[in-house]
Amino acid sequence: MAKTATLEIEGKKYEFPLVEGTENEVAIDIKNLRASTNGYITLDSGYKNTGSCESAITFLDGEQGILRYRGYAIEELAEKADFLEVAYLLIFGELPTKEQSDKFHNDIKKESAVDEDVKKILDAFPKAAHPMGVISSLTSALTAFNPSSVNVNSEEDMYKSVVRILGKMPVLVAWTMRKKQGLPLDYGDNSLGYVENLLKMMFSRPNSCYVQNPVLVNAMDKLLILHADHEQNCSTSTVRIVGSSHAGLFASISAGISALWGPLHGGANQAVLEMLKAIEADGGDTKKYMAKAKDKSDPFRLMGFGHRVYKNFDPRARIIKKAADQVLHDLGIEDPILEIAKGLEKEALEDQYFVDRKLYPNVDFYSGIIYRAMEIPVEMFTVMFAIGRLPGWIAQWREMRLRKEPIGRPRQLYIGETKRSFVPIEER
């Protein structure tokens, strides 16, 4: 393969090196473009064609519908691994041995206590506050309660921040949900597994003994694994660019949570359920919503469909769709919303507009069906995405810091007013 790409500008040729990844992807390295062409830059709104970094964490092939964490297929990990194993794999690059896994979990348990004063911040939020805004604020507040997590430079300091946020996030997530429900906060039980403890903190009741349901534990574990990382998506890119200024891990994750909140990104799982419920209220009239989704004058989009990278089925959607059937069956739930979702999927997959644009169901299309079966409030759906994505954000932040990546600072093409003189107000 040629080792360079040639760019010709006004009759002059410039050579730029080609860089090849381990999965035969090739990038044009333009780090010297502006200097060597006396000021030319590239322009790529939404970074659809622009690589922001080299990464060894997650590989996805949008055309083939392939997703691998550190080389392991998502299908295998969802079937055979547990969430904390996958978190370790993403962050440190290898599946843990039994000893490594036990030490990792114990270190996380040691950090699972949250300062009582955090409750004062939680109490200050109105009940109507969206949980994503609450959890983003509480995550940022962790910096105040753990000041040594701000300036981390050594791997040892990073490790302390990593286990701290993995220990405290499940508590913050559960407390955020319970506060909204007017329930007393649950402090968890460190004798439980990571996911079991999360479920207990979310669903325990003060007047009864919480009994773990293996169907829910398995479903939650699988959902968290499927959300754990997804290379340079919007929220992960946010975590990396905020962290590139050497802001701490908690502050960077808090920014990522805010980016995930948007309905075009992680907020889509809540928007899908609201859309399906609107269709149900409309007598199941999927055709009306398909027409709205295709009408350019209508801002409505078919939520849970389409993807910046996947131009084939999102492999996670396939797994979640199967899991949704299984969970509803195991819980003995007949949910008409699932049938509406399946009907909508069938229609969209046969519709020329969607076929031409390669719009397939994405990770958010079916996940809400399972969260709903687990009696998680719809406003908490994106928070569940966030706690799943936490290991990925951590892994990507840590990789960026260990690789000593430069501060992220894109260029722009200025299209505003050219130089003009100030005019006193009486002359305007």
Q: Which residues are catalytic?
A: 307, 364
164: contact with ligand SDX by CB under 6 A: no
Torsion of CA 394, 397, 401, 405, to 10 degrees: 160
Q: To the nearest whole angstrom, how small is the minimum distance from the Cβ of residue 225 to ligand SDX? A: 12
For 130, the token pair is: 């969206």
Burial 261-290 (b: 16+ CB within 10 A, else e): bebebbbbbbbbbebbeebeeeeeebeebb
- How wide is the angle at C-alpha 82 spanned by C-alphas 76 and 85, nearest 5°? 95
Q: Which of 112, 362, 367, 396 binds ligand SDX (CB under 6 A)?
A: 362
307 interacts with ligand SDX by CB under 6 A: yes
Site for ligand SDX in 269-288 (CB under 6 A): none
Long-range contacts of residues 38-44, Cβ cutoff 8 Å, at least 24 apart: 40/9, 41/411, 41/413, 43/413
Mark the segment that binds ligand SDX (CB under 6 A) among 73-81, 101-109, 160-168, 301-309: 301-309
292 touches ligand SDX by CB under 6 A: no
* Shortest CB 276 distance to ligand SDX, Å: 13
**Tokens encoding 68:** 């691998």
Nearer to ligand SDX, 3 or 296 (CB): 296
x/- binding map, residues 202-221, to ligand SDX, per CB under 6 A? --------------------
Give the nearest distance from C-beta 217 to ligand SDX in angstroms. Answer: 23
Of 191, 176, 11, the closest CA to residue 112 belongs to 191
Specify whether the CB–CB gap between 254 and 139 falls below 8 A. Answer: yes
Give the nearest distance from C-beta 389 to ligand SDX in angstroms: 7
Per CB under 6 A, which region of 103-111, 128-136, 141-149, 354-362 contacts ligand SDX? Answer: 354-362
Half-sphere CA count of 219, side-chain side, radius 13 A: 30
Q: Mark residues 40-59: x for contact with ligand SDX by CB under 6 A, - for none.
A: ------x-------------
Minimum distance, C-beta of residue 260 to ligand SDX, in the bound complex (Å): 8
The distance of Cα 182 from the centroid of its chain, to the nearest Å, equals 28
Identified binder of ligand SDX from the candidate list 80, 205, 329, 357, rule CB under 6 A: 357
Amino acid in position 158: M
CB of 283 to ligand SDX, least distance (A): 21
Token pair, residue 63, equals 């055309």
Which residue's CB comes closest to ligand SDX?
A: 306
Please count the other Cβ atoms lying within 10 Å of the Cβ belonging to residue 208.
7
Contact segment (CB under 6 A) with ligand SDX among 178-186, 191-199, 357-365, 372-380 equals: 357-365
Does 311 engage in binding with ligand SDX (CB under 6 A)? no
Min dist CB 226 to ligand SDX, Å, is: 9
Which token pair is 88? Answer: 């370790």
Residues in CB range of 25: below 8 A, 6 or more apart: none
Lateral strand order in the sheet of 26-28: 4-9, 12-20, 26-28
Kindly give the interhelix angle for 194-203 and 155-181, rounded to the nearest 10 degrees: 30
Q: What is the DSSP letter of 406?
A: P
Residue 304 near ligand SDX by CB under 6 A: yes
Give the binding range for ligand SDX (CB under 6 A) out of 150-158, 250-258, 296-304, 319-327.
Answer: 296-304
Residue span binding ligand SDX (CB under 6 A) among the ranges 29-37, 130-138, 262-270, 322-330: 262-270
Site residues, ligand SDX (CB under 6 A): 46, 230, 233, 264-266, 268, 293, 301-309, 357, 359, 362-364
